[in-house]
Amino acid sequence: MLQTNSTDDWVGRDNMPPDFRPGPVISLAEVLAVLAFMRRHLPIMLVTCVAGLGIAVLFLIAVVPTFTAKAELIVNSKMTLADAAAVSTVVESQIAIIKSESIANAVIEKLGLAQDPEFATGQGSGMISRLLGWSKPKTEANAARYAVEPFERKLSAKRVGPTYLVEITFDSRNPERAAQILNAVAEKYITHQLDKTSLQDEKWVADRLNELNTQALAAETALKDYDRNKTKDTADAADTRDKLAAAAESSKTAYDSFRHVVRKAEATQQQSSPVFDASLVTGASSPLRASWPKPRIVLGIAIVGSLLLGLAAGMLRDLSERFRTIGQKAGPSAEDGRIERPLPDGIRPDHQFDASARTKPVRLPSSG
**Residue 361 in domain:** no
Same domain for 83 and 185: yes
In the predicted model, what is the mean pLDDT of residues 10-14?
A: 50
In the predicted model, what is the mean pLDDT of residues 241-248?
A: 85
Query: Which domain range does residue 260 map to?
Result: 196-230+237-272
Same domain for 154 and 261: no
Same domain for 215 and 165: no
Same domain for 298 and 207: no
In the predicted model, what is the mean pLDDT of residues 36-54?
A: 90
**Predicted local confidence at residue 67, as pLDDT:** 96
Same domain for 305 and 255: no
Q: How far apart are CA 59 and CA 66, in angstroms?
A: 14
**Predicted local confidence at residue 197, as pLDDT:** 44
Helix residue ranges, H only, the chain: 28-40, 42-62, 84-98, 101-111, 117-120, 124-131, 143-154, 175-191, 196-229, 235-272, 295-330, 349-359
pLDDT in tens, 178-211: 999 999 999 999 887 754 444 445 666 777 788 8
pTM above 0.85, yes or no: no
**Residue 343 in domain:** no
**Residue 143 in domain:** yes
pLDDT in tens, 276-297: 678 888 889 999 999 989 999 9
Same domain for 150 and 279: yes
**Residue 154 in domain:** yes
Does position 112 have pLDDT exceeding 70, yes or no? Answer: yes
- Amino acid identity of residue 226, one-letter, is Y
pLDDT in tens, 66-108: 999 999 999 876 656 556 777 788 888 889 989 999 999 999 9
Q: How far apart are CA 145 and CA 165, in angstroms?
A: 30
Contact by Cβ (8 Å): 71, 186 = yes
Same domain for 125 and 44: no
- Amino acid identity of residue 187, one-letter, is E
Q: How many domains does the chain have?
A: 3
Contact by Cβ (8 Å): 69, 284 = yes
- Amino acid identity of residue 225, one-letter, is D
